[in-house]
Amino acid sequence: MKTILVVDDEPKITQLVRDYLERAGFGVLIAYDGKSALSHAKTDKPDMVILDLGLPQMDGLDFTREFRKTSNAPIIMLTARSDESDKLIGLELGADDYMTKPFSPKELVARVRVVFRRIENASTSSDDIIRIADLTLDIPRLRVTSSGRGLEELTPTEFELLVVLARQPGRVFTRAQLLNAIHGVAFESYERAIDAHVKNIRRKIEVKPNEPKYVLTVYSVGYKFADK
């Protein structure tokens, strides 16, 4: 059974999310502030975190910074903040997705399943290894190496996005196409989320993130993986 840590300071929301997740067959842990959530994360090692940004003691962004030092488990953010910059910061810190409050608990469960399915599909892929340029993408292990040297681990969403691009080097993808490819369903996530994920990928795999040689920007369109 997959275990999900739900972090929100509103008991009604945590109970609602718990009910829907448990009904869907997931184990659920609850925390009401960032510090206790971090303690749970260290001791219980959840398979996913559903995280409100506006938390007492340690807010969701600070939690994400600390959590990402030791874990690449997926994070879905919940936020009442309408400011686009907050969402982008969360994604750039390593969150996999976000939902804006008020949200549909049924859609939240759907997003949870999509992220777990993404990880499971990677582990059972018939194309176990992608070798392109001097990069090797080990799909079952969600690992990227450069000339045999291990790179910083990508989150499941970042890795899946890189795989989509690397499978078809030279093909230009719009942001909308990439969103559809990594989600598999029509979610509300806005296209600038792709920019945040690409920024993270470049930081982790490029020697010079500001002068990328793998994931290239096609201005006014989207992104492509460099031709072999």
CATH of the domain at 160: 1.10.10.10
Residues 160 and 199 in one domain: yes
Residue 155's pLDDT is 87
Domain boundary among 79, 101, 119: 119
Residues 103 and 154 in one domain: no
- Number of domains, the chain: 2
Residue 122's pLDDT is 62
Residue 215's pLDDT is 96
Residues 109 and 131 in one domain: no
Low-confidence ranges of the chain (pLDDT < 50): 186
Residue 186's pLDDT is 45
Percent of the chain residues past pLDDT 90, beyond the cut? 52
Q: Using an 8 Å Cβ cutoff, are 34 and 62 in contact?
A: yes
Residue 82's pLDDT is 62
Dihedral sign, Cα of residue 96, residue 67, residue 155, residue 146: positive
Instruction: Count other Cβ atoms within 10 Å, centred on residue 194.
Output: 23
Residue 204's pLDDT is 93
Q: How far is it, in rounded angstroms, from Cα 117 to Cα 112?
A: 9
Question: Which structural domain range is residue 101 located in?
Answer: 3-119
pTM over 0.75: yes
Instruction: Count other Cβ atoms within 10 Å, centred on residue 168.
Output: 11
Domain boundary among 119, 144, 169: 119
Domain boundary among 84, 119, 154: 119
CATH number for the domain spanning 40: value is 3.40.50.2300
Closest to 51 (Cα-Cα) out of 65, 37, 70: 37
Residue 184's pLDDT is 59
CA distances from 81 to 77, 96, 99, 217 (A): 11, 17, 10, 29
